[in-house]
Amino acid sequence: MEDGLRQCRNCNTQNLLNATICKSCGLNLSEFETLSENFGNYQQRYQEQYQSQISAEISEQATQTNIANKAQFRSLMTMTVLVSLVLLGVVIAFAFWRGQQIRQYQAELAADYASANECLRNENFTCAVDSFASVLAREPNYEDAAALLQQAQLSWIDELVAQGQFDTAIETSTSLFTSDPTNAPLRTVHETVLLAYAAQKTSLSLWAEAVELLDEATELNKTNVQTRADLEKAYKFWYSALDGKTRPILKPTIRRAYYDRFPDGDIEDLSLYEPPSG
């Protein structure tokens, strides 16, 4: 608005300051200005209300989101606690089950060990051997089971020899001695079995088999003078017992084997021995 003039807001015509009607378009200047001012105020209030409403809605949404997040968090925590409790229950149940399994295993092992000892006390050596072997197969270092197993094995071999079951005795002692050649008690028992079996063969004049057994016994114990003497005797009687049919084939071989072992001996000298009963 210029000094002394009033501009029409409809057609921009300059009117006198005190004019109420636009001389160009006929607009009522005062009413239009009042309406424009009221509209501006209304528009400002509307914008303020709109912004306030928008802010309230945003705040409400934020609140609802926060509530939803809290609810979701509580639900997640609840689920986590439940899962943890379930897992803890599983762990406890497994530990309890495993404990029972171990206790049952130890009880069975102790029962088998006690049964093996009972067999040994009753001189049921095959039962003792099997039972101690079963215990050691599961627990190689179980108490004194290894020592008791060897005791049962040696006693069983002695029993077989006493019963004349030399084949089984030889097989058993050979297997044990081969598995542990540095074991002195096993070496002694194996030597005893060989000598006992050789004595049986000698009594039956089975000289070739006697020589084989005595030869092995001599290798086990080179300091046993009696075994060496029995071996020389067996060689001599074996040599002298060959008939004409086999003599040309076997005698040279036997002579060489004899003199390899007894270079100062005489294979044909039987003067020191009584004739075999067989």
Annotated domain spans of the chain: 5-83, 164-278
Mean pLDDT (the chain, rounded)? 86
Could you tell me the pLDDT band of residue 258, with boundaries at 50, 70 and 90? very high
CATH architecture of residue range(s) 164-278: Alpha Horseshoe (1.25)
DSSP 8-state code for residue 28: B
Please give the structure tokens belonging to residue 35: 């309406």
Q: What is the mean pLDDT of residues 139-164?
A: 92
- For residue range 190-220, what is the model confidence (pLDDT) as tens digits? 999 999 999 999 999 999 999 999 999 999 9
User: What distance in Å separates the CA atoms of residue 89 and residue 66, rounded to the nearest whole number?
Assistant: 34
The pLDDT value given to residue 42? 64
The pLDDT value given to residue 3? 63
Element of type H or E holding 258: helix 247-261
Of residues 178 and 273, more confidence is placed in: 178
**Strands, E, within 152-214: which ranges?**
none
The pLDDT value given to residue 277? 59
The pLDDT value given to residue 45? 75
DSSP 8-state code for residue 181: T
- For residue range 15-57, what is the model confidence (pLDDT) as tens digits? 877 777 887 888 787 777 777 776 666 667 767 777 777 777 7
The pLDDT value given to residue 273? 74
User: What distance in Å separates the CA atoms of residue 262 and residue 271, rounded to the nearest whole number?
Assistant: 17
Q: Is the pLDDT of residue 263 over 90?
A: yes
The pLDDT value given to residue 8? 83
Q: Is the pLDDT of residue 13 over 90?
A: no
